[in-house]
Amino acid sequence: MQWNSVGDFFAMGGYAFYVWGSFGACALAMLVESLLLRQQRRELLRSLKDQHEA
Amino acid sequence: MTRRTRFFTFAAPSRFYALARALSPWLWAAAALLALAGLYIGFFVAPTDAQQGDSYRIIFIHVPAAWMSMVVYLAMAGWAAIGWAFNARMASMLARALAPSGAIFTVIALATGSFWGKPAWGTWWVWDARLTSELILLFLYLGYLALVEAIDDPKRADQAGALVAIVGAVNVPIIYFSVKWWNTLHQGATISMTKSPSMAVTMLWGMLLMALAFWMYAIAVALARVRNIILERERHADWVRQAVEAS
Structural domain contains residue B29: no
Structural domain contains residue B17: no
User: Is residue B159 predicted with pLDDT exceeding 80?
Assistant: yes
> What ipTM was estimated for this complex?
0.94
A44 contacts in chain B (CB < 8 Å): 228, 231-232
Closest chain A residue to the Cα of B220, Cα to Cα: A34
User: Does the distance separating the beta carbons of A52 and B43 come in below 8 Å?
Assistant: no
Structural domain contains residue B187: yes
User: Is residue A54 predicted with pLDDT exceeding 60?
Assistant: yes
User: Is residue B45 predicted with pLDDT exceeding 60?
Assistant: yes
User: Is residue B5 predicted with pLDDT exceeding 80?
Assistant: no
Report the pLDDT value the prediction gives residue B86, as an integer from 0 to 100: 94
Closest chain A residue to the Cα of B104, Cα to Cα: A29
Report the pLDDT value the prediction gives residue B130, as an integer from 0 to 100: 94
How many structural domains compose chain B? 1
The mean pLDDT value of chain B amounts to: 92
Closest chain A residue to the Cα of B39, Cα to Cα: A23
B47 contacts in chain A (CB < 8 Å): 2
Structural domain contains residue B38: no
Question: Which residue type is seen at B121?
Answer: W
Task: Please compute the mean of the pLDDT values over residues B80-108 and round it to a whole number.
Answer: 97
Structural domain contains residue B140: yes
Full domain range(s) for residue B96? 56-234
User: Is residue B107 predicted with pLDDT exceeding 50?
Assistant: yes
Tell me if chain A has a CB within 8 Å of the CB of B156.
no
Task: Please compute the mean of the pLDDT values over residues A1-24 and round it to a whole number.
Answer: 93
A29 contacts in chain B (CB < 8 Å): 104, 107-108
For residue A43, the 8-state DSSP code is H
